[in-house]
Structure 1
Amino acid sequence: MPIISLSASDFDPKHRILAFQDAAASICKLEICPTDPLGFQSTTDIAVLTDAVLASTTHSQCTALRTSALAANETDNILIHVPFQEGFSITQQGGFDVDCGVGSIYVDPNEIPGAAQFTKDSAHIFYISIPRHALADAISSADAQLRRSIEMTPHWRMLIGYAKNLHECYSSMSPEEVRFCTQHLHDLARMAFTNGRRVEETHQGRGVQAAWLTRLKADIEEQLTNPELSLNAVAARHRISPRYARALFAADRTTFRDYVRQRRMTLAHRMLGDLRYGHRTISDIAMATGFGDLSWFNASYRQLYGMTPSETRVQSIQADKSVAQE
């Protein structure tokens, strides 16, 4: 499997910093501000696994910003920062100023804006990004450790050692091997977040969570075609925190965003196959089912159904003609 590499030295010296900043914003969802633009060096190697991302980064002094705009495009992941050489200080919205040195880790809610400062040259940071749904019954333990510097425990060392070796071997692994190893990574992450404890819900707890999730999904169905539908709005209507709402979907092995997209896709697919909507354009149907971006709708539709919206419509027309001829 190929490693994605991003290095400041790969760009034209005349435009190196601006070009690198554009690439970092696109790939890493970060705005990089070098302390010394002329002497700035940075190299990142990224392994994109099944339901996880591993990255190893070395760079000179800089500030890494996750702006509100960049955070809005982030996935519902938890990002684990592991300093291998030199530490950093970080501040995130809703948190405190935190110093994280070698021998500690920082647990980052990926969708929250913040700024990390690297004041030493040759910092080497390793990153593990894991979707919340993969943490399953450990999600509450993970949420309790967000925006904190945590001392390395044996369970964290097991996870980080495995992740580091997986990152190093990634380029020579098959997709099947990557999927298999990702499952092990998730297991080790759950163990690290719970400090080795086995997390089990009581029957009552499962019943309460199931009841809440049913209510949230019913709310989504009522607001499905509303382009302003959001996790925060749904949580507010039910007077629960967005974090708890997110955890409910994670326990169901999905995310709010993916669930809404799936439901909207189902509605759009049904409309495209219904000749009563034959007079409406693809764009019209996309907007009517809550999608604000036509290109994203088309790409997501093809990924889910293996054909374009237009092909679905043609297929439906042909099927209707065949029935009429019979």
Structure 2
Amino acid sequence: MQGIRFSSQALPHGLDERARFSLWRDLYIANIGSLDIRISEAAPFRADLDMTLYGAVGLASFSGTVQTVKRTPHDLHADSQDAYFLMINDGPDTVGGLHVGREMALAPGAAALMSTQECGSITGGAAPRGGHVWRNLVVPGELMRGALGGVDDLLATSRSGASLAFLRSYLTLLNDTPPSDDPALAAHISTTLMDLLTLVLRGAGDAARQAASRGLRAARIDAVLAGIRDGYTDPGFSVKSLARQLGLSVRYIHDLLQETGTGFAERVLELRLQRSAVLLGDRRSDALRIADLALAVGFSDVSYFNRCFRRRFGCTPTAMR
């Protein structure tokens, strides 16, 4: 079991608050991952982070006066992490958040699943006397997706109940247990953590929540399709711009569209070609040059438009007029 510790109390003496925070943040980003971290102005800076790896599964415990943590598009590009983490609010106050376009309000003891491949934020507001206390159970993306099909549908939904209470108790036990170099013990703990996490996210008797998750996924598919219909005529339209607009990751959009049977590029191309055929049959468009018509439906290259049109309809755009 490997451990990492970052404590503001271990920083060099004589630094002012800003310098101490800046150094701690730089150490965090260099060793853990890219984040936009903001501190509270109402309390002296303090931050303690302990992270232990049990096989592939990590347990991170944080306490301190950090006010807001954000993962921005810049951060996604900076480290390309692929992991999921169950963020547990162990502090005395409600913690707010925003992830995959959904607002969260995590009461003390509640948790929510988040992804490092999605933009998001956690906001604790003004730090209480003891500071904020958060725990993250971190699982590699491939391992999580293998254990839980459709895991992205479970993001940003507040969790509570008996399964989470048991998981929290087990995490406390791990925090209070001296580290060990026994790989068999680490593997056992990793398996137990995954089993408990599965119960928290999709426990027996959670049919209503699973139905809600399926409904959320359907709503997101509808939002993606609507976004494509609204944006396809823009020559600069791309899956990246759609992802930014909807607050979803590119990978998740491709995953959603896979269920419809038609990918992003194919869908956009078909919409553009169908729209061009409608315009070519409309006498009010007779004055439009082919190049102008191609641009109006989203093509920036008229030669490419002509090739796609002929392949789709068996004739040139000019012949269809």
Q: Compute the TM-score of the two structures, normalised by the length of structure 1.
A: 0.56
Q: Aligned equivalents of 1:65 and 1:4: distance in 2?
A: 21
Q: Aligned equivalents of 1:116 and 1:38: distance in 2?
A: 18
Q: Aligned equivalents of 1:37 and 1:5: distance in 2?
A: 25
Q: Compute the TM-score of the two structures, normalised by the length of structure 2.
A: 0.57
Structure 1 residues 60 and 91: alpha-carbon distance in aligned structure 2, compared to 1, 3 A threshold: same
Runs of 4+ deviating beyond 6 Å: 244-247
1:216-231 aligned within 5 A: none
Q: Which of 102, 106, 109 is matched with 2:108 structurally?
A: 102
Partner of 1:284: none
**1:3 aligned counterpart, secondary structure:** strand
Matched, 1:243 2:252: yes
Structure 1 residues 176 and 117: alpha-carbon distance in aligned structure 2, compared to 1, 3 A threshold: same
Q: Which of 20, 39, 42 is matched with 2:24 structurally?
A: 20
Q: Which of 106, 117, 120 is matched with 1:111 structurally?
A: 117
Higher Rg: 2
Q: Aligned equivalents of 1:74 and 1:7: distance in 2?
A: 25
Residues 37, 66 of structure 2: 8 Å contact kept: no
Matched, 1:145 2:139: no
Residues 25, 31 of structure 1: 8 Å contact kept: no
* Paired residue type of 2:155: L
Partner of 1:52: 57
1:129-174 per-residue CA deviation (whole Å, 9 max, x = no partner) reads 112433435232x322212222x12222223322332343262352
1:300-319 aligned within 5 A: none
How much has 1:17 moved relative to structure 2?
A: 1.5
Matched, 1:125 2:134: yes
* Structure 1: stretches of 5+ with no match in the other structure: 200-230, 233-240, 248-326
Q: Aligned equivalents of 2:188 and 2:182: distance in 1?
A: 10
Partner of 2:82: 76
CA RMSD of aligned residues (A): 3.1
Residues 103, 156 of structure 2: 8 Å contact kept: no
Number of equivalenced pairs:
207
Q: Aligned equivalents of 2:158 and 2:206: distance in 1?
A: 23
Structure 1 residues 244 and 66: alpha-carbon distance in aligned structure 2, compared to 1, 3 A threshold: closer
Q: Aligned equivalents of 1:2 and 1:180: distance in 2?
A: 15
Partner of 1:317: none
Structure 1 residues 109 and 84: alpha-carbon distance in aligned structure 2, compared to 1, 3 A threshold: same
Structure 1 residues 157 and 100: alpha-carbon distance in aligned structure 2, compared to 1, 3 A threshold: same
Q: Aligned equivalents of 2:54 and 2:132: distance in 1?
A: 24
Q: Aligned equivalents of 2:37 and 2:139: distance in 1?
A: 23
How much has 1:112 moved relative to structure 2?
A: 1.2
Residues 32, 63 of structure 1: 8 Å contact kept: yes
Partner of 1:285: none
Q: Aligned equivalents of 1:78 and 1:123: distance in 2?
A: 21
**1:144 aligned counterpart, secondary structure:** helix
How much has 1:102 moved relative to structure 2?
A: 0.8
How much has 1:5 moved relative to structure 2?
A: 0.7
Q: Aligned equivalents of 2:148 and 2:95: distance in 1?
A: 27
Q: Aligned equivalents of 1:45 and 1:123: distance in 2?
A: 14
How much has 1:182 moved relative to structure 2?
A: 0.5
How much has 1:3 moved relative to structure 2?
A: 2.2
Q: Which of 143, 147, 155 is matched with 1:134 structurally?
A: 143
**1:176 aligned counterpart, secondary structure:** helix
Structure 1 residues 245 and 157: alpha-carbon distance in aligned structure 2, compared to 1, 3 A threshold: farther
Partner of 1:7: 7
1:10-62 per-residue CA deviation (whole Å, 9 max, x = no partner) reads 21242312111101222332232112297111101100221211011101152
Structure 1 residues 131 and 245: alpha-carbon distance in aligned structure 2, compared to 1, 3 A threshold: farther
Structure 1 residues 35 and 137: alpha-carbon distance in aligned structure 2, compared to 1, 3 A threshold: closer
Q: Which of 193, 198, 212 is matched with 1:190 structurally?
A: 198
Q: Which of 144, 147, 162 is matched with 1:154 structurally?
A: 162
